[in-house]
């Protein structure tokens, strides 16, 4: 079994960098078994397609426009995920929707797909997250770790 934990976002545009910031924390705070890849996908879009070919399970982390209060955390599964990216927040999100569609058309969309994300407040040019979005990182980290445990993977805390 191969699991891909994929953070998406542009770290130069404050809240849009949420997925990247969560990936940084996962890489700093945890160690994962060989079957788990934790990847900063940035804004690569379709360039990530080869990574999906190898994944049996995919967990995506990102900021997504859901019309909720800034900092609200979302967990979506299966078909809910591509629909969430239809409300384009930034350029890379159309890439995520396209990425999932192309993977499915080519017959190698991961068997399980889960999204953990947050409602952004601002996507202006800035290197920091807004306070409500930054405060959501720990909740999403806990959710991601629990998701991995439900898939039979137990990450170890870094020393």
Segment 26-84, tens digit of pLDDT? 999 999 999 999 999 876 666 777 777 888 999 999 998 888 999 999 999 987 776 66
Q: What span, in angstroms and rounded, lies between the C-alpha atoms of 59 and 36?
A: 11
For the ranges 18-27, 60-69, 90-99, the maximum mean pLDDT occurs at: 18-27
pLDDT of residue 121: 93
Average pLDDT of the segment spanning 115-143 = 94
What average pLDDT score do residues 128-155 get? 97
Q: Residue 123's pLDDT is what?
A: 86
Domains and CATH numbers, the chain: 3-157 (3.40.50.1450)
E-state strands within 22-153: 30-31, 36-42, 57-63, 73-77, 112-118
Residues 6 or more apart whose CB falls under 8 angstroms from that of 63 comprise 9, 15, 16, 17, 18, 19, 89, 117, 118, 119, 120, 123, 133
What 3-state class would DSSP assign to 72? Answer: coil
Cα–Cα distances (Å) from 134 to 19, 37, 41, 125, 138, in that order, read 11, 23, 19, 16, 8
Closest-CA residue to 117 (of 89, 102, 142, 136): 136
pLDDT at residue 53 in the model: 82
| pLDDT reported for residue 92 | 47
Give the pLDDT score at 90: 47
pLDDT of residue 3 exceeding 50: yes
Q: What backbone phi and psi angles, to 5 degrees, belong to 29?
A: -95, -15
Q: Say what the pTM is.
A: 0.88
């Amino acid at each position: 079994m191969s699991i891909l934990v994929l953070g998406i976002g542009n770290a130069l545009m404050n809240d849009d960098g949420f997925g990247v910031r969560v990936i940084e924390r996962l890489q700093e705070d945890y160690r994962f078994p060989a079957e788990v890849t934790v990847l900063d996908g940035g804004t690569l879009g379709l360039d990530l397609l080869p990574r999906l070919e190898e994944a049996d399970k995919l967990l995506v982390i990102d900021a997504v426009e859901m019309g909720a209060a800034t900092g609200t955390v979302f967990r979506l599964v299966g078909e809910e995920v591509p629909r969430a990216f239809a409300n384009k927040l930034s350029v890379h999100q159309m890439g995520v929707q396209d990425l999932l569609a192309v993977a499915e058309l080519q017959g190698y969309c991961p068997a399980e797909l889960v999204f953990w994300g947050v409602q952004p407040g601002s996507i202006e040019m800035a290197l920091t997250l807004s306070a409500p979005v930054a405060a959501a990182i720990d909740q999403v980290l806990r959710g991601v770790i629990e998701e991995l445990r439900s898939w039979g993977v137990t990450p170890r805390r870094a020393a």
